[in-house]
Amino acid sequence: MRTFSKQAWIALFGVVVAGGCSVETLLNQTATFGAEGASNSAGAPLQSGLRGVFRVVIENNTPLRAIFSTGTFDNTDERTTPVFFQFSPDSQVIAANAQPTLEGNTDTGVMTFPCGRVFSVGSRSLINLIDENPGPVAAIIDEAALLDGVGFSSEGINSGDASTPREGFARGFEALLGVDFNCGALLHITLEFADVGDDRFVVELAEVFPAGRDDDQ
């Protein structure tokens, strides 16, 4: 992992402030892609296999089916191909050992992603990138899961409306590498009924376990 002297950090911070760039942006754009191969991963494409990884569990704490796309991407690379999975009755872009749907009061199991600058659950940025540059899974993307946010359905799994989010939506969620989590971490994301505001549902970052630690699942 790169190290900077105190003087270098002070100088860099001054450049950030003078240029109108936030400290959050600085942390995100300078975060390492992981101890595993960190020295040769800085310029490696997201899908190259040369970056470290992080893991995610999404827990649906509602009684409803959740319909969404989730993945990681580099927010300053216009050519980035996102690494993503989809959850819907017709999904074929499925995480290893995961079910294609996320039913009520269940979780996704542990999903593994290469370290990217942004992790997303249904954010507009992720959906746009999937539309523009879907990569090798272009032919099997489920359009019903390309939602702006997370949709919720109470329809039966065999219903023709099983992918129709008639119960409402949660807004899309993003977590930033170097700010909200580091490469190697395990993120515990939950889908909840919202306690405040106009939205019925919310996506929350419940816990972040550092590299080398697991939760109780």
Higher pLDDT, 3 or 171: 171
CA dist., res. 122 & res. 67, Å (int): 9
Angle of helix 6-18 relative to helix 23-30, nearest 10 degrees, comes to: 120
For residue 168, pLDDT over 80 is answered with yes
Average pLDDT value for residue range 45-58: 88
| Per-residue pLDDT, 37 | 42
Query: Which pLDDT tens digit goes with each residue over 181-200?
Result: 999 999 999 999 998 878 89
- In this prediction the pTM is 0.85
**71 contacts: CB under 8 Å, gap ≥ 6:** 82, 83, 84, 85, 113, 119, 120, 126, 130
Residue 2 has pLDDT above 50, yes or no: no
pLDDT in tens, 85-118: 999 999 999 999 888 999 999 999 999 999 999 9
CA distances from 186 to 36, 119, 183, 213 (A): 16, 12, 9, 8
Q: How far apart are CA 117 and CA 111, in angstroms?
A: 17
* Predicted local distance difference test score (pLDDT) of residue 46: 82
What whole-number distance in Å separates Cα of residue 37 and Cα of residue 184?
A: 12
Over residues 63-82, the mean pLDDT reads 93
142-163 average pLDDT score? 96
- β partners of residue 204: 190
